[in-house]
A and B are shown apart, each in its own frame.
Chain A
Amino acid sequence: MIQVRDLTKNYGPRRAINKLNFSIAKGDVVGFLGPNGAGKSTTMKIITGFMAPSHGTASVAGFDVFENPLEVKKRIGYLPETPPVYGDMYVRDYLRYVAALKKVPKEKIEAAVNAAIEKTNLGEVQKRLIHHLSKGFKQRVGIAQAIVSDPEVLILDEPTVGLDPKQVAEIRDLIKTLKGQHTIILSTHILPEVEATCEKVIIINKGEIVAEDSIHNLSTMEKGQRRLHVRLRKDVEDMSTVLSPIQEITAVTSGASRKEWNIDLTGGEEIVENISSLLVTKGFGLLELTPSKRDLEDVFLKLTYGQTQNGGEA
């Protein structure tokens, strides 16, 4: 559905994205993940035909974004970071206007507007001025304008930024209901959002793709690695020396206090058993021992910030 080849964009001397290559199949829900300023929005703007790249190509549904921008734009619904809504228009009129702008045939406009209002739950505010709506509603109007033309591809740039937790949950549910009807690209720097909604993740940092895989593969990326979370009754000053007899331990980090520790190790369950018996015999008062998978957050931090540390910059 979406093909991106060697996409590069320079803002003057600064290179925002550097030779991005990825492709997205029809019906996929892809999370586009990266710290602020990584080039997420730039990539999305290029795919939507909003701006041109310095090098490389992007195509949507077989149409090149630059040779056939109008065909591409007909197939895309785009929600920018700030919802592009006119404060002085009524919600319903605004959606009608967007539908006409997106070349929805005249006789289908009313039906399309009704469908968008229903999906985004805007029924009760449809006759109000957008100016008077709360931020969450404005965001929903933004999503409604993106889906009003029933596009094949939906591009959402940080759709939940600045919303309260309830609104965030609502928007996520909304995105889930849109699954299957559209190919969705969702850009965000909020990890639970990706975990909650997406099947595939593209992690981008400093303008380059650092990982591209399904969420499941990414979370279990380093096989055989485990992390144990232990909670004790007594303070332990230096856990790594305590655990030094066990060779398989790779790292020990302290948690919220000296009573909580995270232990990374390689190997099977017998190592876990060894650790628990060691802690018990030492008499630290083992209260809790939970094995935890490396989650997406760790992968993300490692891939983005971890790299800068290795590079000696941070």
Chain B
Amino acid sequence: MSGTLTIFKKELKGFYLNPTFWVICFLVSVIFSWVYPIQLNLFAQLLLNYVMQQGVPTNQLNIHYGVFLRELSYLNLLLIFVVPALTMKLFAEEKKLRTFDLLLTSPVTSLEIVLGKYLAALGAVLGIVILALLYPLATSTLATINWPPLFIAFFGIFLVGAVYAAMNLFASSLSENSIAAYIISVIFNLSIWFIGIGAEVVDSEKGRKFFEHVSLSSHLSTLVEGTLRTNGLIFFLSVIVLFCFLAERVVESSRWR
């Protein structure tokens, strides 16, 4: 596994020493710095006036629902487009610049290559999630925060980012063209949210349960509410393993094609 570590270190350095990553971080923080205070302000006004208002859902009076979960949904939206930008070059560019030859003629297995790159992509996703986590952390100076649900919620969004990273790594391995890899990735990331819609159109009980089970949103919603459930974790993990496996197959296929 030393090959994984070598590739991981190189790729992680490639992310964090590359201006592109910091430009992305900057843009993400610009969006949050605009949206987050507005959310916080709306929440504060709601608290001031809720006695006068009728029919406000009680969970909206909790900062976790009222502010943090909204931030998470924006973060998710951003990740759908940002993760492909981070991962698109991982394989596509190697193929285009012919540096892929070096990897394939080095004493490392395809699995080590894919794992090294995947873990590095996770490192980059983690950076962006931590960046988003800074906002609730800053809020803790103004309000009392229940920490465990907050961290579990961010862990949930990190897992979703990890699923994107796995799918997008696979997309990158399919193409020599970074732009094509980016577009395929975004389509993957969007379409995984649409699978759950199937639950609303099938009639049979079994079919509905199936779609509910493979829907990313149902698993994410329990996590963002602060509940860790093993079936959710197993679902995320299986999707990640599936796409890493597919990417490994694609890399391996270039040896016999």
Using a CB–CB cutoff of 8 Å, the interface residues on chain A facing chain B are 48-52, 69-71, 73-74, 76, 78, 80-82, 84-88, 97-98, 100-103, 145
Which residues from chain B contact A103 at a C-beta distance below 8 Å?
2-3, 107
Q: How large is the interface on B (under 10, 10 to 19, 20 to 34, 35 or more residues)?
A: 20 to 34
Which residues from chain B contact A49 at a C-beta distance below 8 Å?
104-105, 255
| A85–B107 CB distance below 8 A | no
Decide if the interface of chain B is mainly helix, strand, loop or mixed. Answer: helix
CA distance A70 to B104 in the complex (A): 10
Q: How far is the CB of A105 from chain B (nearest CB, A)?
A: 10
Using a CB–CB cutoff of 8 Å, the interface residues on chain B facing chain A are 2-3, 6-7, 10, 14, 18, 97-109, 254-257
| B104–A102 CB distance below 8 A | no
Which residues from chain A contact B109 at a C-beta distance below 8 Å?
70
Number of cross-chain contacts by CB at 8 Å: 67
Q: How far is the CB of A59 from chain B (nearest CB, A)?
A: 16
CA distance A88 to B256 in the complex (A): 30
- Assess A51 versus B255: contact at CB under 8 Å? Given A88-B14, A97-B6, A103-B107: yes
CA distance A267 to B1 in the complex (A): 67
CA distance A100 to B102 in the complex (A): 12
| B6–A51 CB distance below 8 A | no
CA distance A86 to B7 in the complex (A): 13
| A78–B14 CB distance below 8 A | no
- Assess A50 versus B101: contact at CB under 8 Å? Given A101-B6, A101-B7, A101-B106: yes
CA distance A308 to B100 in the complex (A): 36
| B101–A70 CB distance below 8 A | no
Q: How far is the CB of A22 from chain B (nearest CB, A)?
A: 20
Which residues from chain A contact B98 at a C-beta distance below 8 Å?
80-82, 84
Which residues from chain A contact B255 at a C-beta distance below 8 Å?
49-52
CA distance A218 to B76 in the complex (A): 68
Q: How far is the CB of A244 from chain B (nearest CB, A)?
A: 57
| B99–A51 CB distance below 8 A | no
| A78–B3 CB distance below 8 A | no
Q: Which single residue of chain B is at the shortest CB-CB distance from A73?
A: B107
In addition to A97-B6, A98-B102, A98-B106, 15 A-B residue pairs with Cβ atoms within 8 Å of each other are A49-B104, A49-B255, A51-B255, A71-B107, A78-B102, A80-B98, A82-B98, A82-B101, A84-B101, A85-B99, A88-B14, A101-B3, A101-B102, A101-B106, A103-B2
Q: Which single residue of chain B is at the shortest CB-CB distance from A48?
A: B105
Which residues from chain B contact A87 at a C-beta distance below 8 Å?
97
Which residues from chain A contact B106 at a C-beta distance below 8 Å?
73, 98, 101-102
- Assess A84 versus B99: contact at CB under 8 Å? Given A78-B105, A103-B107: yes
- Assess A50 versus B14: contact at CB under 8 Å? Given A100-B6, A101-B3: no
CA distance A97 to B109 in the complex (A): 16
Which residues from chain B contact A84 at a C-beta distance below 8 Å?
97-102
| A86–B97 CB distance below 8 A | yes
CA distance A145 to B101 in the complex (A): 12
Q: How far is the CB of B94 from chain A (nearest CB, A)?
A: 9
CA distance A37 to B105 in the complex (A): 22
CA distance A100 to B9 in the complex (A): 11
Which residues from chain A contact B6 at a C-beta distance below 8 Å?
97, 100-101
Q: Which single residue of chain A is at the shortest CB-CB distance from B106?
A: A101
Q: How far is the CB of A141 from chain B (nearest CB, A)?
A: 12
Q: How far is the CB of A91 from chain B (nearest CB, A)?
A: 14
Q: Which single residue of chain A is at the shortest CB-CB distance from B98?
A: A82
Q: Which single residue of chain A is at the shortest CB-CB distance from B3?
A: A101
Q: How far is the CB of A33 from chain B (nearest CB, A)?
A: 22
Q: How far is the CB of A136 from chain B (nearest CB, A)?
A: 18
Q: Which of A52, A78, A84, A85 has the most CB of B within 10 A?
A: A84
Identify the 7 closest CB pairs spanning chains A and B, nearest first: A84-B102, A73-B107, A82-B98, A100-B6, A84-B99, A52-B256, A70-B107
Q: Which single residue of chain A is at the shortest CB-CB distance from B19?
A: A88
CA distance A48 to B102 in the complex (A): 10
Sample 8 A-B pairs with CB under 8 A, ordered by A number.
A50-B104, A51-B257, A52-B256, A78-B101, A84-B100, A97-B10, A101-B107, A145-B102
